[in-house]
Amino acid sequence: MSTPPPPQGQNPFAQGQPQAPYPPQQGAMPYAPVPEQPRRKITFKLVKNVVIVLAVAGAAIGGYIASRDDANTAAVGDCMHRGSGNDSNPDLEVVECSSSNAQYIVLAKVEGTFTSLTADSKCEEKAKDFQYSYTETGDGSNFLLCLKDYSK
């Protein structure tokens, strides 16, 4: 036994419901007005987060600026200043040759890894009148600086 198809225009699942939509009411707005959104208050948490972000950004920028004068940025002819009396970490930084801090001048810069013995022999090869050799390894930049005292 089969069921007859529903009559055209009728929903077979809408039992007992009116078949036409309710007529629109006269004078009614199609939607309610949106109330004005309240302004956000500046909270302690927001201020704290902004201060943290600014502090981290300031530290990153300061670190970048401080590292620009490190020995790894030195080139032949640059003047250097020794920031530390520690021979194993002299903390060399690039300075203007007109500065009173200028102590050494770079005679040669050689990329690679060197021991103290190979550094001196490489500096003798590259710059006959060198007085000091400085090697740095790590951070992806291994190099040798051949230096001599700077006299103005």
Distance CA 56, CA 78 (A): 32
109 SS3 class: strand
Q: Torsion angle, CA of 148/67/116/90, rounded to 10 degrees?
A: 70
Residues 6+ apart with CB under 8 A from 122: 110, 114, 133, 144, 146
Q: pLDDT per residue over 9-56, tens digit each? A: 555 565 555 555 555 566 655 677 788 888 878 888 888 999 999 999
How much of the chain exceeds pLDDT 90, in percent?
18
Res 35: pLDDT: 83
pLDDT of residue 82: 84
b/e 110-132 (16+ beta carbons within 10 angstroms → b): beeebeeeebbebbeeebeebeb
Identify the CA nearest to 130 among candidates 104, 93, 91.
Answer: 104
Quick one: pLDDT at residue 91?
79
Average pLDDT, the chain: 79
The pLDDT tens digits of the residues spanning 102-129 come to 999 999 999 888 887 888 889 998 888 8
The answer to whether 77 touches 95, Cβ cutoff 8 Å, is no
Confidence label for 141 from pLDDT (cuts 50, 70 and 90): confident
Q: What are the backbone dihedrals phi and psi of residue 70, each rounded to the nearest 5 degrees, phi first?
A: -70, 165
